[in-house]
Chain A
């Protein structure tokens, strides 16, 4: 820590560009690139620290923590997850959910059930790695064991990438700034090209295009989902992927799924869409808050998937015609 204080500002900002941003959070801008960091901080009036609501000691502590994260990022890989196990809790009436289900790496499982039955809740239980401390009383094991409680609060290691059902943004930023910050929070390097890729991919999924400068709060429902799908696909190395109702809002769901479902991951998706449901090798039927049944997709069903896709393509073609203002008097 004392070493860094002896380094020149010019060197530091060139070597660790995020530092400029870090100090600007504290209202500190660098004018003299030849001064050392120590001299610069020493030169700040006591009043400046008072106004920022921080003292020099605490600022250095934060700097230390920040630098540790920058250097950590090079080795930040989520621990290997070869399986997760869902141990049943109880349904909405408190009846026990007698189930112990293990999901293996490389598997895709769908979750179906009526509106309000608890599909999103099941995904939330997995994201949270519930330990009998959610409304369902479920317990989640990772590699057969109780996950390290630290992992729940770790900002570095994310076991789970979640594409949730609510996609309303509240942050006051542009698309570009948002994706940039998200990449930064995941300590990803070479951010610039990645951000451009994500925005381009998102535009391929969405209908009406948006630009890097569009405020996230101005995105439509479909555009937000498209952005989040591309963001999740490109930014996350998490071994578990949770997808909640990708089919909504008219985005290209097959393209979306192919982006999200990579090999070697554990994928769960809640859906009301028969095609997506049958694409999974297994589906969980949820009723009244509990997993009621586990069904393996049969080969008959897989064959029907082809027919379903034909029907779907017809339907999509109709939708495209409708969207472009055509009449549907002839089908």
Chain B
């Protein structure tokens, strides 16, 4: 006979990222329901910038939740500084699986950590060129979940998935419907194969976060050369022949 503790001994961590309103929470809600129905204990952490209602949604599923609002920091930078604490919290609650949802706001940062299952959620409505515009949070993900397939035709779904494939050749690409939950059980079984994470001390991000050390990071609001200090990058104005 197989006891629960034989299946999962320590906690698994899964990082979920994706552009705002791409369906991260909707997908996670379905995954958590299916985890709960197999008797596993899940918890969630939501990292966002200004405000979020996601905690209430997760709480309504009866699971423990933490919310971190980064305020005027990049939420992903904030994530790295705080994920270790959240991991400890999850382990202290004896959870089987902790999901960490973060809003990908700058398209250049990503919360993916080496050795931790990394998921990126994007939706079919974002336009064909979006996959190549999204940085490491898509390009370094292990699983790319595409939502809102119910709104577009099969042809459009295929074209979009193909663009995702070009941006990330090795990821598992899955269609999940955040509303009906179609596809969520497959995603759940992949979550259950995630490696276990005991500590993140000494862990390494999959891709460096951009240097955010200009005067504007530090609160400057005035525009003009004289106010710009530190790591400033100039736009290259191309002279187009008329």
Contact = CB atoms under 8 A, between A and B. Distances in A.
Interface of A: 22, 25-26, 50, 52-55, 58, 61-66, 68-69, 124, 127-128, 133-135, 149, 152-153, 155, 158, 161-164, 166-173, 178, 181-182, 184-186, 228, 231-232
10 contacts: A53-B107, A54-B135, A134-B182, A135-B180, A153-B172, A153-B175, A155-B158, A171-B160, A172-B128, A184-B162
A53 B160 CA distance: 20
Contact of A153 (B155, B158, B186): B186
A161 B154 contact: yes
A55 B169 contact: no
B77 interface: no
Given A66-B169, A178-B159, 20 more contacts: A25-B166, A50-B210, A54-B135, A54-B136, A61-B169, A61-B170, A65-B170, A68-B169, A134-B182, A152-B186, A153-B186, A158-B158, A162-B154, A166-B153, A169-B152, A171-B156, A172-B127, A173-B128, A178-B155, A228-B155
Contact of B167 (A25, A152, A161, A232): A25
A185 B135 contact: no
A63 B139 CA distance: 12
A128 B134 CA distance: 28
Contact of A50 (B158, B165, B208): B208
A66 B169 CA distance: 7
Nearest to A62: B169
A110 to B, nearest CB: 20
Interface of B: 107-108, 110, 124-125, 127-128, 132, 134-136, 139-140, 150-156, 158-163, 165-170, 172-175, 180-186, 207-208, 210
B152 to A, nearest CB: 6
Contacts of A186: 158
Given A22-B166, A172-B128, A155 B173 contact: yes
A66 B153 contact: no
Contact of B125 (A52, A62, A170): A170
Contacts of A25: 132, 166-167
Top 10 closest pairs, chain A to chain B, by CB: A65-B169, A53-B135, A185-B162, A62-B169, A25-B132, A162-B154, A53-B136, A181-B159, A133-B185, A185-B158
Contacts of B136: 53-54
A66 to B, nearest CB: 6
Nearest to A65: B169
A149 B172 CA distance: 13
A127 B166 CA distance: 24
A170 B169 contact: no
B186 A167 contact: no
Nearest to A227: B155
B122 to A, nearest CB: 13
Contact of A69 (B139, B151, B165): B165
A165 B163 CA distance: 24
B180 A134 contact: yes
A53 B158 contact: no
Given A62-B168, A164-B153, A169-B152, A185 B208 contact: no
Nearest to B124: A170
Contact of A168 (B151, B168, B180): B151
Contacts of A22: 166
A327 B180 CA distance: 48
A134 B186 CA distance: 12
Nearest to A69: B165
